[in-house]
Amino acid sequence: MAGDWKVNAGRLWAVGATTAVIAGLAAVVVWLFATQVFDETLYVTTPGDSTLVELSVGQTFIAAFVAGIIATGAMHLMLAFVPRGSMFFGLLATLVLFVMFIPVLTLPDATTANMIWLSIMHVVVYLVIVPTLTGNVSRVAMRIQPIPPPPPA
């Protein structure tokens, strides 16, 4: 069974790439606000172990940018192959947001302020990516009209 939309991939990925850049910039704004205005150093764990390392502005941008690209791929797949794909995309993205709070809230030896700033960053990136992608569905895809049944003979 196919999805409800015929996707214009070029337009979708143009919107997705732009959204990813904006999400990266929004995450950088949160990082700058936390580090420059509130003088809070943000820490994350290194992959593979639980050592805390300082979060850099480049890592912040790249992580949010990659999240935007992955979300665009998920949106493309949902629209192309899942009935009511934009609704399921929103549900999936919200589930991912909640799952991403687990590593943030379980950082070893991290301050409460660090956890709050990282959580704010996740929510801001979510609020840039999900509404932008779902709000552009009608611009990047065309609803497939079901074929009407033949008239009775």
- Model confidence pLDDT, tens digit, residues 82-97: 888 888 899 999 999 9
pLDDT score of 147: 66
CB 139 within 8 A of CB 5: no
Rounded mean pLDDT, 99-108: 83
Q: Which helix H or strand E contains 55, and what residues bound it?
A: none
Other beta carbons within 10 angstroms of residue 6's beta carbon come to 12
**pLDDT tens digit sequence for 24-77:** 999 999 999 999 999 998 988 877 777 888 999 999 999 999 999 999 999 999
**51's tokens:** 């050592």
The C-alpha atoms of residue 47 and residue 120 are separated, in whole angstroms, by 21
**136's tokens:** 């552009």
